[in-house]
Structure 1
Amino acid sequence: MESQFIMNECYIQFLEKLYSPTENLKQCEQNVKDAVAILAPSVRLGKAEVVMEAPASKLRENEEHQHITLYDQGSDVGTEAYALRFALPDKGYVNIILYPAGMTSFSDQEKEIQNLLAKQIFTQFSRIMMQGFLTHVINTDMATGVANQEAFMRFVVALMKQQQLAQYHVFFFNIHNFKYVNKVFPYAEGDVVLRKYAAYVDSKTQDGKVARLGGDNFVALVRNEQVEDYIHMLQNVKILHATQDKKKEFLFSATIGVSSLDNIEAPRDVLAHASIAYQAARIRGVGTLVYYSEEIHKRLMANQTIISQFAPALAAGEFVVYYQPKVNISDRTLYGAEALVRWLHEGTLIPPMQFVPQLEREGSICKLDYYVLEQVCKFLQKRKEQGKEQICISVNFSRKHLEEDDMVERIVAIIDRYGIDHQYIEVELTESEDFQNYEIMSHIVNGLRDHGIGTSIDDFGTEFSSLNMIKKVDLNVIKIDKSFIPLEMEYPGKKKDMIMFANIISLVSQLGKKTIVEGVETEEQLAYLREVGCDIVQGYVFDKPLPQPEFEQRLEEGYSPCTA
């Protein structure tokens, strides 16, 4: 009967409609419905349904799409269904359920025809679902379920063609402190939280598009009238996550770059403007917001120039070491010096504030620190070979080094390469808000001490340095920033400042550590520091940072006991 049926005119029309060309998934689905409607009367089909089982059903997120009615004549439909189940390559299933027209069940011969009909429907549906699956994969970041960068850019191009891009702002944002999630839950659960976050943010993007760029970085197109609400939302995202063992609500903020899209000439400029604004926000600080401007663009380009020129400049020896003397306050004798780096580029001496922050953020500062240490060791080696007196020189090491596993070993290797006694090198460390891991800091300090290398904490009293640091990390020297020195003029609160400063000096002294006060500029400050018991001072009252020849001269001449 099947061989005769396939020559049936209705069946041929059914196939022509079923496999007619389509441009999208919705049209394909409609073709199947139309094709079944053509054939149904000739094969006594009263109703036809398709039910998809996971993971095939995941391709249609709305529940209504799990169960599709292909055909229903409405009345006089039998209740005894003929059901067929087809497996998909991805382990999903398509169930095709056919009901007879009238109350009589399908005969065996009719079931042969219905089986042929079901196979053709499945073949087309499997093609439809594969098409949908491929479209889904091509356009989706599979880890979060939101769009990927390619889909985002296609959306941008479409808006440009429709001349609607100016109706949107672009956001580039990074979730603040998402790593905390992985401290509370295992990494697999962290992925779930990230997916929840992405879904929430996507749900708040009306008529726009959210895409994940990688990690916890996202980009979004947001309608102009929604911008302020969207900013507020990104700074206050609450995500509740629970497992069998624990339950936790996370409050996420974000570092955000925003740009209007009024004068965009090319699709690539959309992401470029957002990225520039975001980079500026990162420089300003975690959790901040920056709007794109040409001025910000120029500033970042200058920073990129510095970063791109760093490696060749380092290889060419353009970075030179200056030395600022440290002086014993009691007798004005030289205690040591701090090595400070300058960049001599094309005849111009560039101060550190114009390149160190950029290198710090980019990470190249670590290479520069080791370079400075090596230059200091070369200087001390030269003095040793000349039979001149050795002096302890401190070298600054960025907090970036705290992420290294072999910091102590590398420092020791450089010092030993030049045959320098370890007591003549001191390592200056700086604490920071984002690296208050005293255990790691203490491990490094103890490791250096085991090799006879002294350590100091820089800028005590500013930013994030604290009494907790000197309690938990056994440093040799505490450097106190000039901002802690009470001003010479009278001002409200001066008495309190003087009491605090004097007690800090006393506390450090009682702990058996030396105090160095930097930034001392006047004899009046010097007299006050001597009075409260400070050990060592550093600043313009004695010398500015000196190039090596002038520093060597200062080592020979010393300081007059009568004048600065």
Structure 2
Amino acid sequence: MPRTATAFLPRHLALQRHFWLAFFALASLFLFFQRLSAPSSWVIDSLLATSIIASLWLLIVEWQTLRRTARAYELAMQAAHDGFWEWDPQSKRLQVGKRLLEILGYHEDFLTSTHDWLNIVHPEDRAKYNHAVAEHLKGKTQFFYCEYRVRANDGGFRWIGSRGIAVCDRHGKAYQMVGSVTDITERRRYQDNLEFLASHDSLTGLPNRHDLARALTQSVASAQNNKTLLGLFFVDLDRFKDINDTLGHRAGDLLLQGVAQRLGQLFGTNSRIFRHGGDEFIILLPECQDISSALAFGEAVREAIASPFSGHDSDFFTSASIGLSLYPLDSSDADTLLRNGDTAMYAAKGAGGNALRQYKPEMNERLQHRVSLESGLRQAIARNELELYFQPKIQIPDCRICGAEALLRWHHQGRMIPPDQFIPVAEDTGMILEIGDWLTKRCFEHILEWQARGATVPPIAINLSPRQFWRRQPAQEILSQLAASGLPSSALQVEVTESLMLHADSGATEELLRLREAGLDIALDDFGTGYSSLSYLQRLPITALKIDRAFIKELANLDNNPSIANGASQQRATALVGAIIAMAHSLSLEVVAEGVETDEQLQCLKELGCDIAQGYLFSKPLPADEFFSSWLGEKSAQLTRTTLENT
């Protein structure tokens, strides 16, 4: 039978029952009055009895049908774990189902009216809820839907998603509204965690550099409108690396947390504090009275950081180099204000540290260093100073190498320049385009060389800078080099960061789609450190998600010293990493954990269901020949396999 016919049949039969029920009811009424007004007749008595019996039978059938329908609806609501409600917009009478009460933990139904329900809606959500209801009753929305908080029996608030539809009379006035609610507390908790990660530093809880960019722009605009001074303090801890090297990274983390907590307690009421990255903090001081008050504030910050910090079985001693930049005296825009504060901070550090310096135009030493880097970088390829290092990726379940990441290194004037120093220079000057082409070509050359030596080479990942998407089509360049090499698309992977999406007109999504359609896997790198958003996961054609090392190092105590470990921080990190893994898997994305350094971290990731691990626990980044001999050669592969299984 056609689908339309099967859908129509139950309704058709119901209409037939209603027709015959009305017919026999009217017939019974007619025959009854005939019986009263006419002499007794066996024909009328027989017809009356037949009509009454038929009416009763049809009523029983209708009652059974209604009972089955009500039972089916009840079972459907139970299967969906939703709670049912019915509301009369005119009398304000409310009726709620048992499941809705169970969601909120109530045992007795005390929700009989609109007033009762609004009493348990969170005060901050009542206006939003009332507006959504009003819009639907006015016919402006096809369905009613609202997400809001409701007080549960335990005194806490649970998030619910409430949906419904109103029934109106012929005048358009609603006289009934029915719907259901779903408990979305866990979903909102995951969403809140991700939103927190997008704008806050996971270690200190302070707003991060990306939130700073927004706040600084707003503060400059406010100072301009109010004709006031805005102070920016660039704070860098002195000799922080020595603490990490001598006492361990966990001690360094505790110090960062202590500094953030102290600054927040002492100066958080009249200023805003941000963690800029590493051991750097930014403090914005709006509405400075004058230069003297700004300098006095900076001295107070310096003295606060110089006071001892308690931790473990001894005290930590540190100091800070602080640079002060004032709007509008030192800059007319946010970016320059921040850059001048950085310059002044380096001047304070050059004076021996534990000092405060206000920006002066002659503070150009760091700029000169940058110019020197730029000059050397322009000749790095010609001088054969660039080299690729490779770090393996390990499949967690069976401890097999399943890929590697190609990392750029620069040997210049007898020393290795850190990537975090020359990569920003390459991006700002546009040299990243030429370097990117060289990196891709060199990567293919290494793969072909290893294959010629008899190795089975796993996919190699290269990083693409957002700058590579600004001026040309990187997908065409990569695919052309891939075709020229004769390698399959599975030989290469691409890693990008969410900062790529900050430039909506760059065509990045289209370029990545071209790479994905050609068969290349794409990973979203450094997830959780800045712009993390579910919208990016939907827009970018990614196949894998890489969790930043900042979260991984919190999974276990790096110093293996429980007296130093911060249990609450570790539990929070585990919850956040678990939420990211669960979310990624729900989107069919592979999950890679960066910065894995301990067996405890690996075990925790395994329990959380992470797919791939990468970090110093397995190997530091290695030159090409050393990577081949350690990971791709037949004997070394067997040895590595045994070592990983023991780990």
TM-score, normalisation: structure 2: 0.43
Structure 1 or 2, whichever has the larger Rg, is: 1
TM-score, normalisation: structure 1: 0.49
